[in-house]
Structure 1
Amino acid sequence: MRIAVVGTGYVGLVTGTCFAEVGIDVTCIDIDQTKIENLKRGVLPIYEPGLEEMVARNAQKERLSFSTDLSASIQGSDVAFIAVGTPPGEDGSADLKYVLAVARAIGQHMTDYMVVVTKSTVPVGTAAKVRRAIREELEARGADIAFDVASNPEFLKEGAAIDDFLKPDRIVVGIDSERAQEMMSKLYKPFLMNGHPLIFMDIPSAEMTKYAANAMLATKISFMNDIANLCEIMGADVNMVRRGIGSDARIGNKFIYPGIGYGGSCFPKDVKALIKTAAENGYEMDVLKSVENVNEKQKSVLFNKISNYFNGEMAGKTFAMWGLSFKPKTDDMREAPSLVIIEKLLEQGAKVRAYDPVAMKEARHILGDSIEYGKDEYETLIDADALLLVTEWPDFRSPNFAVVSKLLKEKVVFDGRNIYDPVEMEQKGFTYFGIGIKQGEKQLKATV
């Protein structure tokens, strides 16, 4: 079986590589010549644990190849995945120009039956637009070639994408023909050996499932952050509350950790797109509007704590920041809370010295020389007025606090992810600020 994956960003590269890993011949296609040449040399455009080794292994076995030639790549392919970007427009809607450009190119060059699959996150109704674009190009050629369109949304967590693809919770496929169902069943058969469900449904439902899943997870995060802020006001400990509600099987313990807001390439974009899609169809998503509003405010919570502690006088002070990416195990800084905090600190005349285990290159690309960069987490602390924990990398979970204490000018820690224990921090002589924890009083030690 042969497949083509158009787009070598996060979704496309992981998808193509994981299919190659189970023995399928895969060609990944991109219009960016430099990116393709780098991939051929084993240089990846993204960081994802285990991906570099998997790309190299499958390229060496000639199951995975890279090309800029869409025409040659789709000829002989049974399935073509569209995995290009759908960036948000100014109004929050998903921009489909790249998806439809690929669809038209497929229509111009396909020579035999294939299933064209939208893997990109796209609004309900996109598959119909893809079908129409392909059909128009075929008619322009005078070609009578059968094809099917399917929707196969991805549910990959950055930092755990390979496991998510190879050992999926579920595989969702939207189809409208038996032939497409047979083809997609054959394609995903290697991933079903351990009982992972392959769920077939109509195409609009598959398209909606992706948005609904991300919107639900974003809702859990914003809800918990709202509760955390109220806990602080009322003198409750959100860590206790989280443990209490997370033990309820109806709620569960995932995505209920309070923090400084969600970021990344999916949640912010998809929540906006779903709100926009609903509005275009005469419906208001009131819950999701609140989710988005809470999240935007939450990104300023840590800065507000800093400002209050220093009485608004931050000019000339240096802040050590641990973590830049929006979450651990990725270099992705899109919509990262770190960017909001940095911007606000710089506006106040403060200096920021940051370190991230993976995202330093991306940070330099975005922030340039506006901040300083430490060679490791401890170098950032030298004569800093406070430590800001922004991304909960494992590297930061158990630092040498004796060293931290000596290097900091003032023993103050602002923990945006609640990874440190308030009681232990107080015992070590630190002034500690977490999220959803009443400050200035000893807290009972939460059992996690």
Structure 2
Amino acid sequence: MDVTVIGTGYVGLVAGSCLAGAGNRVTCVDVDENKVGRLNAGEVPIYEPGLEPLISENLAAGRLRFTTDAAGGVRKADVIFIAVGTPPGADGFADIEAVRAAAGSIAGHLRPHAVVVMKSTVPVGTSEIVRDEIASRTDVPFHVCSNPEFLKEGDAVADFMYPDRVVCGVDTEHGRGRLEELYEPFIRSGKPIIFMDIPSAELTKYAANAMLAARISLMNQFAALCEHTGADIEHVRRGIGSDPRIGPAFLYAGAGYGGSCLPKDVEAVIRSAAQRDIDLTILRAVNEANERQKTLLARKIRRRFGDDLSGMRFALWGLAFKPRTDDMRAAPSRAIVAALRERGATVAAHDPVAMDQARTVYVGDEIEYGADEYETLAGADALILATEWLQYRRPDWTAVGERLSRRIVFDGRNLYDPERMAELGFEYYPIGRTQVGPQVVA
């Protein structure tokens, strides 16, 4: 099948590459000439495991190409995916101007009965806006569908290739048939394609992310209660996660969620509901709890060392919002760095893949960088763990203790065992677990 993907951001790049890998002829369109040139040369602008070899393989096979020519890509396409960014505006609403622009760019070039698929995460009703935008510019019959993505950064290629489910909003048999044909290679293991109306598909993506965000924030609030009662959030997590009605996923307490999806989507659905005079009180609380959670480690540090951190130095392990990605959007590390620098401290940071990204976030000498995680420790008053990268899970504690000026660890991901840290002679401050050292409850 001939497929065109408008937008080569995270979603568009993964979707286009995976669809090409299934034997389709895929054209990916972007307005950025430099980016298109780099992609055609096999240079991948984002870190995502498995994506670079997938792109290279399909470029070499002639199944994948990148271009700035939207018209040329659309004219021969059976299916056109719109996968452009929908960033939050200043008011928190999802900005769909790029979606409108994409619809306008393809409108005059559609072949009869082409299927236009809304892949970007958009508020309910956006697919109808796309339909109206295109219909105002052409008399050619076409079909509009919604097909929200459910990709986890760090596992996106596997998520697309082997999905738990594929959600499709359709209102014509032709659109349904095309999507069925397109996704058939990816669901041979028996996972479902779930067809529904278009508004339901659009809302399903927001509802899924809202539910996940709610689980995380609720566990973080239980962790706070644990710190005041002597309970252990890890025991609580195992206890409730074994209940089949609840399950174990997304029950880990930590320093808050970040990234490109959960914060943006929770805020967007709150705003979208407010437009309709619906107050999503639970989600507002989820959002507020997460913003506070991202400053928790900084508050613990202030309780331990005092409000004035002038002249102090902290080692920070992890900058990305989660492992296996270089994405620092809304990452807890950013809130930690801002809070420490505001109080006069300096920060030396390390991340296995996000260092280049960090240099675009922090200008000049705002933070220091270690060539490896141990280099950040020299003379530091404490180690802060913000991202649970695999290489941080079993550090050489002798080397850590020798390099730190004080044997103090603030663990934002509960990677380490409190009893073991006590045996090693560290002050240890996890989240919702037994602390080793002076009582610090934030």
Tell me which interval the TM-score lies in, with the shorter structure as reference length: over 0.9
User: Are the equivalent residues in 2 in contact too, given 1:233–1:438 (CA < 8 A)?
Assistant: no
Q: TM-score, normalised by structure 1?
A: 0.96
Q: Given the alignment of the two structures, is residue 287 of structure 1 paired with residue 282 of structure 2, yes or no? A: yes
**1:418 is matched with which residue?**
414
Stretches of structure 2 that go unaligned for 5 or more consecutive residues are none
Instruction: Please list every run of at least 4 consecutive aligned residues from structure 1 whose deviation after the TM superposition is greater than 4 angstroms.
Output: none
**2:84 is matched with which residue?**
84
Question: What does residue 22 of structure 1 align with?
Answer: 22
What residue is the counterpart of 1:127 in the other structure? 127
Residue in 1 that maps onto 2:425: 429
Superposition deviation, residue 242 in structure 1? 0.6
Match of 1:151 among 142, 146, 149: 146
1:324 aligns with 2:319: yes
Whole-angstrom distance in 2 between the partners of 1:441 and 1:246:
29
SS at match of 1:81: strand
**Contact 2:427 2:437 (C-alpha < 8 Å) held by counterparts:** no
1:101-250 equivalences under 5 Å are 101-138=101-138, 144-250=139-245
Cα deviation for residue 234 of structure 1 reads 1.0
1:87-108: CA deviation from partner (whole Å, max 9, x where unpaired): 1111111111000111111112
Unaligned runs of 5+ in 1: 139-143, 443-448
Percent of pairs with identical residues? 54
Contact 1:76 1:112 in 2 (8 A): no
Q: How does 1:299-448 map to 2 (within 5 A)?
A: 299-368=294-363, 369-440=365-436
How far 1:441 sits from its partner (Å)?
7.4
Aligned letter for 1:406?
A: E
Distance 2:322 2:62 in 1: 33
Deviations 1:374-398 (A, max 9, x none): 0000000111110000000001000
CA contact (8 A) 1:47 1:330 kept: yes
Verify the 8 A CA contact 2:86 2:99 in the aligned structure 1: yes
The CA RMSD measured in Å over matched residues stands at: 1.0
Indicate if the aligned counterparts of 2:418 and 2:435 stay in contact, CA closer than 8 A: no
Distance 1:296 1:101 in 2: 32
Q: What's the CA shift for 1:440?
A: 4.5
**Segment of structure 1 superposing worse, 354-363 or 41-50:** 41-50
Q: Deviations over 1:3-34 (max 9, x none)?
A: 00000000000000000111111011000001
Q: Deviations over 1:312-340 (max 9, x none)?
A: 23111110000000000000000001001
1:329 touches 1:393 (CA, 8 Å); kept in 2? yes
Aligned length: 437
CA deviation vs aligned residue, 1:245-296 (integer Å, no higher than 9, x gap):
1110111111000001000000000000100011000100000000001000
| In 2, Cα distance between equivalents of 1:285 and 1:297 | 19
Question: Per-residue CA shift, 1:37-56, capped at 9, x if unaligned?
Answer: 01011111110001011100
Q: What is residue 270 of structure 2 aligned with on the other side? A: 275
**SS of the counterpart of 1:137?**
coil
What's 1:47 paired with?
A: 47
Q: Distance in 2 between matches of 1:440 and 1:43?
A: 47
Contact 2:426 2:436 in 1 (8 A): no
* Structure-1 separation of matches of 2:200 and 2:320: 32
**SS of aligned partner of 2:188:** coil
- What's 1:258 paired with? 253
